[in-house]
Structure 1
Amino acid sequence: MIRDNAVDFMDEQVDLAPASAEPWRVLVVDDEADVHEATQLALRDLVIEGRPLAFLHACSAHEAYEILARDHEVAVILLDVVMESEDAGLWLAKRIRDDLGQKAIRIILRTGQPGYAPEIDTIRAYDINDYKTKSELTRVRLFTSLTVAIRSYWQIRRLEMSRRGLDLIVAASTGLGKLRALQAFAEGVVTQLCVLLNIAPEGLICAFSCPRTDEAPRVIAAAGRYRALIHRPLHELPDAEARGALQRCLSRKQHAFARGACLYFDVNETSGIAAYVNLARELDPVDRDLIEVFCANMSVGFENVLLHDRLFDFAYHDQLLHLPNRNRFIQLIDEKRADPRMTLALVDLDDFAEMNTVLDHRFGDQVLHAVATRLAQSFGPPVILARVSGDIFGLLGPPDKINPRGIGQAFFDPFSVQGEAIRVSATSSLIRLNRDSPATGGELLKDASIALKQAKLLNRGRAEYFSADLSLTARERIHMLTNLRAAFSAERLFLAFQPQIELASGKVVGAEALLRWKTEDGQFVPPDRFIPLAEQSGLIVHIGEWVLRTACHRLKRLNRLGYADFRMAINISHVQFREPDFVALLGRVLSDCQIRAEQVELELTESVAMGHLDSVIAKLAEIRRMGVSIALDDFGTGYSSLSVLKQLDVDRLKIDRAFVREIGQSGDASGIATLVVALGRQLNLGTIAEGVETEEQRTCLQALGCREGQGYLFASPLPAAQLEAWLATH
Structure 2
Amino acid sequence: MSNNALALDDDQVVQFIAEPVDEAPEGPIDPWRILIVDDEPDVHEATLLALRDLMIEGRPLAFLRAYSAQEARTILARGPEVAVVLLDVVMESEDAGLRLVHWIRRDLDNPLIRIILRTGQPGHAPEIETIRSFDISDYRTKSELTRARLITSLTVAIRSYAQLRQIELGRRGLELIIAASTDLIQRRALPQFAEGVITQVCALLDMAPEGLICATSTKSPSGEAGPVVIAALGRYRAMLQRPLTELPEAPVREALHRCLRERRHRFDPGICLYFESGEAQGLAAYLPRVGEPSRLDRHLLEVFCANISVGFENVLLHDRLFQLAYYDPLTGLPNRHHFIQLLEARGGEPDMALALLDLDDFAHIATTLDHHFGDEVLKAVAERLAQTFGPEVVLARVAGDAFGLFGPGDLITPERIQQVFGEPLRVRDETLRLSATSSLMALNGQPAKGGDLLKDAGIALKQGKRLARGKTSHFSETLGQAARKRMRMLSDLRAAFSSERLSLVFQPLVELSTGRVTGTEALLRWEIEPGHWVPPDQFIPLAEQSGLIVPLGEWVLRTACRELRRLSERGHAGLRMAINVSHAQFREPGFVPMLKHILTETQVTASQIELELTESLAIEHVEGLNAKLAEIRGLGIRVAVDDFGTGYSSLSVLRQLQIDRLKIDRSFISEPAATPTQGGILPLIVALGQQCNLTLIAEGIETEAQRQHLLSLGCQEGQGFLFARPMPIERLEDWLAAAVSNQDQPV
Alignment TM-score, normalising by the size of structure 2? 0.84
More deviation, 407-416/214-223 = 407-416
Shift of the 421–663 alpha-carbon distance from structure 1 to 2, 3 Å rule, reads: farther
Question: Of 317, 323, 330, which residue of structure 2 is paired with 1:320?
Answer: 330
8 Å contact 2:651–2:688 — kept in the other structure? no
Question: Of 166, 189, 195, which residue of structure 2 is paired with 1:187?
Answer: 195
More deviation, 505-514/530-539 = 505-514
8 Å contact 1:20–1:52 — kept in the other structure? no
More deviation, 479-488/108-117 = 108-117
1:296-445 aligned within 5 A: 296-303=306-313, 305-334=315-344, 337=347, 341-350=351-360, 365-397=375-407, 402-404=412-414, 406-408=416-418, 410-411=420-421, 426-435=436-445, 439-445=448-454
Question: Of 231, 246, 253, which residue of structure 1 is paired with 2:241?
Answer: 231
- Per-residue Cα deviation, 1:318-373 (whole angstroms, up to 9, x for no partner): 33332223343334444554566443222234566787789876565445334433
Per the TM alignment, residue 548 of structure 1 is displaced from its structure 2 partner at its CA by 0.8
Shift of the 362–494 alpha-carbon distance from structure 1 to 2, 3 Å rule, reads: farther
Q: Give 3-state SS (helix, strand or coil) of 1:516's partner.
A: strand
Shift of the 357–577 alpha-carbon distance from structure 1 to 2, 3 Å rule, reads: farther
1:72-221 aligned within 5 A: 72-79=80-87, 90=98, 93-98=101-106, 100-110=108-118, 119-124=127-132, 126-132=134-140, 142-173=150-181, 175-176=183-184, 179-202=187-210, 204-210=211-217, 215-221=225-231
The residue aligned with 2:560 is 551
The residue aligned with 2:493 is 484
The residue aligned with 1:705 is 714
The residue aligned with 1:693 is 702
More deviation, 417-426/552-561 = 417-426
Q: Distance in 1 between matches of 2:337 and 2:61?
A: 67
Q: Distance in 2 between matches of 1:399 and 1:117?
A: 85
The residue aligned with 1:264 is 274
Per the TM alignment, residue 214 of structure 1 is displaced from its structure 2 partner at its CA by 6.9
Q: Distance in 2 between matches of 1:462 and 1:286?
A: 70
Per the TM alignment, residue 70 of structure 1 is displaced from its structure 2 partner at its CA by 4.5
2:285 counterpart of 1:278: no
Per the TM alignment, residue 604 of structure 1 is displaced from its structure 2 partner at its CA by 0.9
8 Å contact 1:211–1:271 — kept in the other structure? no
Shift of the 32–393 alpha-carbon distance from structure 1 to 2, 3 Å rule, reads: closer
8 Å contact 1:27–1:78 — kept in the other structure? yes
2:480 counterpart of 1:475: no
Q: Give 3-state SS (helix, strand or coil) of 2:166's partner.
A: helix
Q: Distance in 1 between matches of 2:684 and 2:169?
A: 101
Shift of the 624–215 alpha-carbon distance from structure 1 to 2, 3 Å rule, reads: farther
- Per-residue Cα deviation, 1:500-525 (whole angstroms, up to 9, x for no partner): 33344544332222222233322232
Q: Distance in 2 between matches of 1:261 and 1:485?
A: 67
Q: Give 3-state SS (helix, strand or coil) of 1:386's partner.
A: strand
Q: Distance in 1 between matches of 2:440 and 2:388?
A: 17
2:440 counterpart of 1:451: no
Q: Distance in 2 between matches of 1:407 and 1:86?
A: 91
The residue aligned with 1:512 is 521
- Per-residue Cα deviation, 1:687-710 (whole angstroms, up to 9, x for no partner): 322223333333333333333332
The residue aligned with 1:15 is none
Shift of the 355–602 alpha-carbon distance from structure 1 to 2, 3 Å rule, reads: farther
The residue aligned with 1:600 is 609
Q: Give 3-state SS (helix, strand or coil) of 2:170's partner.
A: helix
Shift of the 328–490 alpha-carbon distance from structure 1 to 2, 3 Å rule, reads: closer
Question: In the alignment, residue 369 of structure 1 is paired with which amino acid?
Answer: K
Per the TM alignment, residue 623 of structure 1 is displaced from its structure 2 partner at its CA by 2.0
- Per-residue Cα deviation, 1:536-580 (whole angstroms, up to 9, x for no partner): 222221221111112222333344455554332211011111222
8 Å contact 2:347–2:443 — kept in the other structure? yes
- Per-residue Cα deviation, 1:631-669 (whole angstroms, up to 9, x for no partner): 221122123444544543333332211112264322322
Unaligned runs of 5+ in 1: 12-18
2:591 counterpart of 1:582: yes
Shift of the 407–662 alpha-carbon distance from structure 1 to 2, 3 Å rule, reads: farther
8 Å contact 1:94–1:127 — kept in the other structure? no
The residue aligned with 1:8 is 8
- Per-residue Cα deviation, 1:174-211 (whole angstroms, up to 9, x for no partner): 55555554434433333333332122345x22223326
Question: In the alignment, residue 206 of structure 1 is paired with which amino acid?
Answer: I
Q: Give 3-state SS (helix, strand or coil) of 1:721's partner.
A: helix
8 Å contact 1:317–1:323 — kept in the other structure? yes
Q: Give 3-state SS (helix, strand or coil) of 1:257's partner.
A: coil
The residue aligned with 2:16 is none
Root-mean-square deviation (Å): 3.8
The residue aligned with 2:21 is none
Shift of the 33–462 alpha-carbon distance from structure 1 to 2, 3 Å rule, reads: closer
Unaligned runs of 5+ in 2: 12-26
8 Å contact 2:504–2:522 — kept in the other structure? yes
8 Å contact 1:350–1:425 — kept in the other structure? yes
8 Å contact 1:7–1:35 — kept in the other structure? no
Alignment TM-score, normalising by the size of structure 1? 0.86
Shift of the 486–214 alpha-carbon distance from structure 1 to 2, 3 Å rule, reads: same
Q: Distance in 1 between matches of 2:534 and 2:78?
A: 93
The residue aligned with 1:240 is 250
8 Å contact 2:255–2:269 — kept in the other structure? no
Shift of the 461–62 alpha-carbon distance from structure 1 to 2, 3 Å rule, reads: closer
Q: Distance in 1 between matches of 2:289 and 2:280?
A: 29
Per the TM alignment, residue 261 of structure 1 is displaced from its structure 2 partner at its CA by 1.2
8 Å contact 2:218–2:228 — kept in the other structure? no
8 Å contact 1:207–1:220 — kept in the other structure? yes
More deviation, 277-286/160-169 = 160-169
Q: Distance in 2 between matches of 1:228 and 1:641?
A: 71
The residue aligned with 2:20 is none
Question: Of 57, 61, 70, which residue of structure 2 is paired with 1:53?
Answer: 61
The residue aligned with 1:535 is 544
The residue aligned with 1:14 is none
How many percent identity over aligned positions?
A: 62
The residue aligned with 2:14 is none
Q: Distance in 2 between matches of 1:486 and 1:69?
A: 77
Question: In the alignment, residue 6 of structure 1 is paired with which amino acid?
Answer: L
8 Å contact 1:6–1:32 — kept in the other structure? no
Q: Give 3-state SS (helix, strand or coil) of 1:595's partner.
A: coil
